[in-house]
Each structure stands twice: as C-alpha cells, then as structure tokens.
Amino acid sequence: MQVKANAKLNLTLDILGTRADGYHELRMVMQSVTLHDLLTVEIGTGEGLRLSTNRSFLPSDQRNLAAAAALCFSEETGIDLGGVSIRIQKEIPVCAGLAGGSSDAAAVLRALNVLTGAELSPERLARIGQQVGSDVPYCVHGGTALAEGRGEMLTPLAPLPFCWIVLCKPGFPIATPELFRRADGVRLRRRPDTAGLIAALEAGDLEGAARRLYNVFEDVLPPRKAAEIAAIKSALLGHGALGASMSGSGPTVFGVFRSEEAARRAWEDLAGVYRETFLTQSV
C-alpha cells in the first residue's frame, strides 16, 4: 500500500513556559502542504521489521519514527503484523522543521490501520502516535489546526485559503534543544498574534493570515543564523510573498504567495543559491 506523508508548516509558534515534566508548553497553528514523502507499506512479509529509504544516512531501525510507529501500532492493538516492510521515498528535507519523520510515522499508522482492518478512529491513531513523537498526532490529522501542550492537543481550524508556498532550507543545522535552552534564558520580545491569525482563517482572509506568521524561535537564533534566515525572508517578501516565517525549530523558511507566477520567480531565484528549495501548495 502506498501512502503520502505531507510536510507541515508552523504558521505560528509560541512558547508559553516550561512544564513540570520538563517539556515546554507550546501554542502553534500548523498547516499541511503538498510536499510529501511517499511510503510503501506491506504486512505479512514474514521477515520481521524491514525499513529502507533513499537517504542512506537515515536509520533503518526503530530510531526511525516510521519503524517506531509500526512497533507501537502492533503493541497497542495486539495485532501481529506477521512482518512489515516500509519503504520511504524521501522528498521532505531532513532536520528541517517540517516534521518529515513525524509525518512518515503518521503515514505508517494510517496504512497499518487499513491493511490490518483495525478501523481505529483518527483520534485513537493520534493517541498511539503521541507515544512516538509530539508532532505525530497532528500529522495523523493534517490540515489546519491549533496545537497546544507539547503539540498533541489539537483543535481543527478553518482551512488556510489556497496559496502557493515556497520553502527554502539553508545549509546549516539547528539543534532544537539548544533553541529551547536559549528561549528559556531570555525574555521573548515578540509573540505571534495567534488569535488574530485564527480570526483571519475564519474570515477566509489569506492576506490577514499571512501578515500574522511568526515563530518565537527566530528571536533566539545565533546571530549568523538569524541573519541568513532574515535574508531569505527578505528575498521571499521582495518577490511578493504576503508573509514569511521560519517553520518549527528551523532552519526552513517559507513564504506564502497568492500568485503562482510570483511564487515561481521566488523559487527559481532561491533555488540558484539553496539546493533544498521547493515550490508547494497549501492542503
């Protein structure tokens, strides 16, 4: 069975504080886009758990969230999969703030739900996914949603009006734990207008939503990385993006466009500098 795993964007990301369990309390508006990985999932192979990808540096054991999801599904449902094969054709950049691994895990859960005839509700699949990773519950559902807690508390929202989106991943890594530590050590200067963005979504106002894109992690980036993120945002806005922001813990930057022509120009311009640049659409 083949199944798509769509990338996600953070239209907003806010850190509300640190929880008693050591995790951070988050408030985010999440959005799926058409950029996706393609997974082929088979059960009854008689060969245990086998996972392969077109990216040789990715783990093929349960350190890969897709494999962890298959094991968790079997444990939680009590269903013997009789061996499972997972092949992942990666298109979503790795370690990019786009939930590629979490989306792969969610796709495996959806596929196994069909292949085994388990007929679990999306809510039950999301609860299983929560054990695999904080973004997996959202990725099970997809679309446009408010995510709270660690990201597992989801409220469906009015959809983002159709738009073109350019994604650009600069060539440096950003460690998520480091960003959280930096955020813990400063007073954040700016907060996203999450309520205003939700109101814009309800009104079907793309421009109003795009004006309210914001990610507090941009406030705590190391100076050189912050400068490059700002330069990519400026390039996107210069090509006519209605708004631009960093997704997740980065480093991917995205711009929202109403015009396909303007989006294509931005994509072509940035792709000449950054190898991992993509033209995609809202879901």
Domain ranges of the chain: 2-156, 164-281
**23: pLDDT confidence band, cut at 50, 70 and 90?**
confident
How confident is the model over 204-225, as a mean pLDDT? 96
Residue 52 labeled ligand binder: no
Neighbouring residues of 227: CB distance < 8 A, sequence distance ≥ 6: none
Instruction: Please indicate, yes or no, whether the overall pTM of this predicted structure exceeds 0.75.
Output: yes
Give the pLDDT score at 36.
Answer: 98
How confident is the model over 260-272, as a mean pLDDT? 98
Share of the chain above pLDDT 90, in %: 93
- The answer to whether residue 186 scores a pLDDT higher than 90 is no
Q: Rounded to whole angstroms, how far apart are CA atoms 62 and 73?
A: 13
Q: Which residues are catalytic?
A: 8, 135
**Number of Cβ within a 10 Å radius of residue 61:** 10
Radius of gyration of the chain (CA): 19
**19: pLDDT confidence band, cut at 50, 70 and 90?**
confident
Residue 32 labeled ligand binder: no
How confident is the model over 254-272, as a mean pLDDT? 98
Residue 100 labeled ligand binder: yes
Provide the mean pLDDT of the chain: 96
How confident is the model over 43-48, as a mean pLDDT? 95
Q: Rounded to whole angstroms, how far apart are CA atoms 167 and 178?
A: 23
Give the pLDDT score at 189.
Answer: 83
Residue 137 labeled ligand binder: no
Residue 249 labeled ligand binder: no
> Has domain 164-281 been given CATH number 3.40.309.10?
no
Instruction: Give me the CATH topology for the region 2-156.
Output: Ribosomal Protein S5; domain 2 (3.30.230)
How confident is the model over 10-16, as a mean pLDDT? 97
**20: pLDDT confidence band, cut at 50, 70 and 90?**
confident
**18: pLDDT confidence band, cut at 50, 70 and 90?**
confident
Give the pLDDT score at 14.
Answer: 97
- Kindly give the interhelix angle for 223-238 and 260-271, rounded to the nearest 10 degrees: 140
**276: pLDDT confidence band, cut at 50, 70 and 90?**
very high
Q: Rounded to whole angstroms, how far apart are CA atoms 234 and 249?
A: 19
Give the pLDDT score at 173.
Answer: 87
Residue 97 labeled ligand binder: yes
Closest to 14 measured CA to CA, from 215, 201, 248, 190:
215
Residue 95 labeled ligand binder: yes
Residue 98 labeled ligand binder: yes
- The answer to whether residue 228 scores a pLDDT higher than 90 is yes
